[in-house]
Structure 1
């Protein structure tokens, strides 16, 4: 499971949902750019206890995103974590089809002006193929070992595709 440390809108609720769906089926490892520690944003009463319990588990110590060679699933702004995955100055997902939050979804956020990158633009500018559905609709793209979801609403569909992908190997 990938997390990006640069996105102030990262949802603890979305991660919690993904983790609960996957942990019963997979042995999980988290990954962040450069293996940096996880810092959740958007922690509320419903997720605070879970985040506290999660933080003391072995899988809460992230691996380096760049070293992962297994099936990958990223949802919403979590797709931004894939943008820093490079080898010899080349983006490792160049040539892949994927999705992430659309510009139309992002502009509604008060944090839009402070985003370090726009996922849609990054993918297109670095050799990827980007697609999106209408705002807040479920939209998932599967290409080789990579599953991406457009937004929080796409979380369950993306994780289910990850499970199917892993079961087909």
Structure 2
């Protein structure tokens, strides 16, 4: 599981998956998870999560297991490189659409636009209308466009793991 954006979406993913899997978080380079959007309803959970053993991320580049990223968490995939080549080149995926991103007050400060990065680095990007559920499954990678896609993405991850 990868998350960078919504702590609410990560919390939802984690709760859905933890009853089915032994989880390991993974980030590019094994860097700490960057939770944003922490509010009163998620602050306590984030604090409790951060002291658990599974909160220490593995290096995404070394993971040979299914990966699920949703919404702004898809941006974390953009940092995953080996020998200066993006490891998801040639994959089909989704992430937040530009139309969804421009509504955020943080839009002007975003370090990258996921859609542009994917297309510029050899991936195939698709999106649905704003706030619609949209999930893409390609090989071992499941991506969801936005927070609304969280449950569908996790269910696809569960199905993918069940078929292995």
| Partner Cα distance (1:73, 1:36) in 2 | 17
Tell me if structure 1 keeps the 8 A contact 2:68–2:143.
yes
TM-score norm. by structure 2 comes to 0.94
Structure 1 stretch displaced more, 20-29 or 81-90? 81-90
| Partner Cα distance (2:39, 2:89) in 1 | 36
The structural deviation recorded for 1:39 is: 3.5
Q: How big is each residue's C-alpha offset from its partner over 1:65-87, in whole Å with a ceiling of 9 and x where there is no partner? A: 21111101100010011111111
The structural deviation recorded for 1:147 is: 0.5
Unaligned runs of 5+ in 1: 1-10
| Partner Cα distance (1:88, 1:34) in 2 | 13
| Partner Cα distance (2:33, 2:69) in 1 | 15
Q: How big is each residue's C-alpha offset from its partner over 1:121-169, in whole Å with a ceiling of 9 and x where there is no partner? A: 0000011110000000000000111100000000000000000000000
The structural deviation recorded for 1:38 is: 2.3
| Partner Cα distance (2:107, 2:34) in 1 | 20
| Partner Cα distance (1:39, 1:134) in 2 | 27
CA RMSD of aligned residues (A): 0.9
1:44 aligns with 2:39: yes
1:28 aligns with 2:29: no
The structural deviation recorded for 1:114 is: 0.6
TM-score norm. by structure 1 comes to 0.91
Q: Which runs of 4+ in 1 moved over 6 A?
A: none
Structure 1 stretch displaced more, 96-105 or 37-46? 37-46
| Partner Cα distance (2:88, 2:41) in 1 | 35
